[in-house]
Amino acid sequence: MSMNELLARFHDVAANPSAQMKKYLAEGKKVVLTAPVYTPEEIIHSMGLVPMGAWGGDLVLDRAKEYFPAFICSIMQSILELGMKGTYDGASAIVIPSLCDSLKCLGQNWKYAVPGIPFIPMTYPQNRNNEVGKTFVKAGYRRVAADLEKATGAVFSEEALAESIKVYNKHNAVMRKLDEALASHPEVTNAQRSDVYKSAFFMTKEEHTVLAEKLLSALNETPASGKVKIVTSGILCDAPSLLESFDALGFQIVADDVAAESRQYRTDAPEKPEALDALAEKFAAMDNCSVLFDVEKKRADLIVKTAQERGAKAVVLVLTKFCDPEEFDAVPVRRACEAADLPFVLIEVDRQMADLGQARTILETLRDSLNA
């Protein structure tokens, strides 16, 4: 397959998650929804179930407001909206982690708003990188596995989990390679780059790894051309009109610190005698994310370092409205960029933004100032 054919395939999957879900259900597989930001997909995968990302969608919020107040993260609201409207019908369960206050509300609301799809909580500790934290995480994973057995009839085993961890580690490695390779391939648009990441939530990791490896090979055959290099940061950066603006204004995302993109693939599970310990170690080692407690806010420095390494001219923080963890981090990120003399802009987005006029103005101004 050529690069364009591969990118078209990624787009088809990213743009049609419902079709993917129907396909897996038609194959007799059971689908388990995984809510943002980090869910133990490896456990779901190891039980022969298909993990399917549930990050909401760009739709008008109507019924979710029966449960949520107005000023809360639109990603959470849209997940509940899709659940209430039946878009996720057919899923055997949903795993919702406790990584922010809005996610906790989503879990509690889900039980009543979407009773047909069992809610499985994954409660993470704030202090994750010590023995108590790891024990707590492991207990949480055991509960997820037990709840999945109850909801789906599938059976959990440490041996199967060890195999799934290998599958996920391999996928992580390929995604990291792809991230690096895409930085020198501006002919891949920002919208296409987003499709590569987004599609990973809607395919089994085996399938996505194969496609990503093919894209890596295809990329090596294409020449590079110049655009203004930027690094994006935030929870989500997949709004079509925003990506279209990046592309139209001549920006190239050469790296990201986006929760739904590269943050997912930074950390591998290490080898351990017990697979659940390996998974708990993975969570303990994860860092540089607004929903993972870090008093030193090292994420800000990582963003600057990444931007410098990739030759980015600016950092664009795509802030999901009412996302408290990201709002807290925005200040240290801005300060770190300013200290490094790296232009920084903040764009507020939500799932219901049909008009990104203000975002476009900010991006145009950034481009003008970088080109001046």
Partner 1 sequence: MVSFGIDIGSTTSKCILLRDGQEIIGSSLVVGGIGTDGPRKAVQQVFEAAGISPDEASVSAVTGYGRSSWKDADFQVSELTCHAMGGRFIFPELRTLIDIGGQDAKAIALDKSGMMKNFLMNDKCAAGTGRFLDVMATILQVSVNELGTLALTAQEHASISSTCTVFAESEVISQLASGADRTAVMAGICDSVATRTATLAKRVGIVEPVCISGGVARNAGVRAALEKALGVKLLYSELSQHFGALGAAVYAYRKSGAKSE
Of the two residues 19 and 331, which places its CB atom closer to partner 1 in the complex?
Answer: 331
- Tell which one of 348, 349, 352, 354 touches partner 1 (CB under 8 A): 348
Of the two residues 211 and 312, which places its CB atom closer to partner 1 in the complex?
Answer: 312
User: Left (φ > 0), alpha (ψ -120 to 50) or beta: where does 287 sit?
Assistant: beta
The span of 62-70, 145-153, 177-185, 362-370 binding partner 1 (CB under 8 A) equals 362-370
- 352 touches partner 1 by CB under 8 A: no
Q: What 3-state DSSP class applies to 290? A: coil
Residue 234 beta carbon to partner 1: minimum distance, rounded to whole angstroms = 16
- Tell which one of 5, 206, 274, 364 touches partner 1 (CB under 8 A): 364
- 357 touches partner 1 by CB under 8 A: yes
E strands in the chain = 31-34, 50-53, 93-97, 119-122, 228-234, 251-258, 314-320, 344-349
Residue 353 beta carbon to partner 1: minimum distance, rounded to whole angstroms = 10
Number of residues that bind partner 1 (CB under 8 A): 10
The span of 77-85, 255-263, 279-287, 354-362 binding partner 1 (CB under 8 A) equals 354-362
- 365 touches partner 1 by CB under 8 A: yes
Residue 310 beta carbon to partner 1: minimum distance, rounded to whole angstroms = 22
The span of 8-16, 184-192, 228-236, 356-364 binding partner 1 (CB under 8 A) equals 356-364
What is the per-residue binding string for partner 1 in 295-334, x denoting contact by CB under 8 A?
----------------------------------------
Kindly give the interhelix angle for 240-248 and 357-371, rounded to the nearest 10 degrees.
Answer: 20
Of the two residues 220 and 361, which places its CB atom closer to partner 1 in the complex?
Answer: 361
- 369 touches partner 1 by CB under 8 A: yes
The 8-class DSSP code of residue 27 comes to T
- 48 touches partner 1 by CB under 8 A: no
The 8-class DSSP code of residue 355 comes to -
Q: In whole angstroms, what is the distance from residue 188 CA to residue 217 CA?
A: 14
- 358 touches partner 1 by CB under 8 A: yes
Q: In whole angstroms, what is the distance from residue 102 CA to residue 72 CA?
A: 7
- 89 touches partner 1 by CB under 8 A: no
Structure token digits, residue 22? 């129907």
Calculate ∠ Cα 98-264-248, nearest 5°. Answer: 115
Contact 168, 45 (CB under 8 A): yes
Q: In whole angstroms, what is the distance from residue 128 CA to residue 125 CA?
A: 6
Residue 177 beta carbon to partner 1: minimum distance, rounded to whole angstroms = 36
Contact 103, 73 (CB under 8 A): no
- 247 touches partner 1 by CB under 8 A: no
Residue 246 beta carbon to partner 1: minimum distance, rounded to whole angstroms = 15
Contact 43, 283 (CB under 8 A): no
Q: In whole angstroms, what is the distance from residue 57 CA to residue 82 CA?
A: 8
Per CB under 8 A, residues contacting partner 1 are: 348, 357-358, 361-362, 364-365, 368-369, 372
